[in-house]
Amino acid sequence: MTPTPDTHPLAELQIQVHPDLAPQLDLQLLREQVEAIVKGEPAVIRSKTDEGEDAGRYLNFAFKTSDRARLWRTLETQLYEHPQLGQLLRQSSMALCTGDDDWDDYLVLWHFNPEIEPDGVDEP
């Protein structure tokens, strides 16, 4: 599908969490919040979670969506502004999204490093 000014192809949005950067982060609560978003947000087409160790622990939450702006607003509100998770998630995660050319022009939506400036997400 070739994007036009008012539509976007399916996008992938990923949040990678580095628990070692915020040891107090309640990972079970985070998983529960993500699951609630997956079940309740129509912009989520499918999702996948994985975790592992590569120079430190990580958790990846990946979402396929047809409306990356709507999904990002939901994730930002329900995760990054969450009263218990928000601050710790902001200091330990990065959120990325495919751009119009897939991962060749990805967008940085959030990064724990304050020197990395986030990109905006276009409305579809």
> For residue range 100-109, what is the model confidence (pLDDT) as tens digits?
777 778 899 9
Residue 56 lies in a domain: yes
Q: What's the token pair of residue 89?
A: 């998630």
Residue 122 lies in a domain: no
Q: CA neighbours within 13 Å on the CB side: how many for 72?
A: 23
**CATH number assigned to the domain comprising residue 38:** 3.30.70
> For residue range 28-71, what is the model confidence (pLDDT) as tens digits?
999 999 999 999 999 999 999 999 998 899 999 999 998 999 99
Residue 58 lies in a domain: yes
Residue 31 lies in a domain: yes
Close Cβ partners of 85 (under 8 Å, ≥ 6 residues apart): 25, 26, 29, 30, 33, 79
Residue 3 lies in a domain: no
Q: What's the token pair of residue 73?
A: 């607003």
**Closest C-alpha among 60, 57, 61, 59 to residue 20:** 57
Answer yes or no: is pLDDT of 95 > 70.
Answer: yes
Q: What's the predicted TM-score (pTM) here?
A: 0.86
Count of positions (residues) in the chain: 124
Residue 79, domain extent:
11-111
State the total domains in the chain.
1
Query: Nearest 10 degrees: CA dihedral of 84, 27, 72, 94?
Result: 100
